[in-house]
Amino acid sequence: MHIQFAELPVADQDRAKAFYTENLACQVIADHPMGDGGWRWVEVAFPFAVTNLHFIRRANAVPSAEPVLVLVDDDVEATVASLKAKGVEIVTEPQEAPWQPGRTVAEFRDSEGNRMMLASR
């Protein structure tokens, strides 16, 4: 079994779409009107990933204080350096995970304030 898509709460779909395509190399696989009010079904895919993201409307402007998504990455340090160079907010620098020695983790915020974790394999 695999997850076809994960829903990610956002306040601005265009800003979120730009963040994920420009900073994390995602490709837009759907962008269609969805009901009244100008909301759209926007879905992006990570390169070489099984799971896609679908941006859903957040009830308020307060992003989650905890990570909402964990991205497994071959080189956490290089990815963090690339995100920093693009002006992405890094919440925690790469460090060894206290719960799993030998695993590197770091956290960043997306364009909507969602907290994300990068973790080595």
pTM: 0.72
Beta-strand (E) ranges in 1-121? 5-10, 27-33, 40-45, 52-57, 69-73, 90-96, 104-109, 115-120
All domains of the chain, ordered by start, with CATH? Answer: 5-120 (3.10.180.10)
pLDDT for the residue 32: 86
- Tens-digit pLDDT profile for residues 23-75: 999 999 889 887 777 788 888 988 877 676 777 777 777 777 777 788 888 89
For 53, 58, 117, the CA distances from 93, given in Å and listed in that order, are 24, 27, 11
Tell which wins on pLDDT, 13 or 56.
13
4 has a pLDDT exceeding 70: no
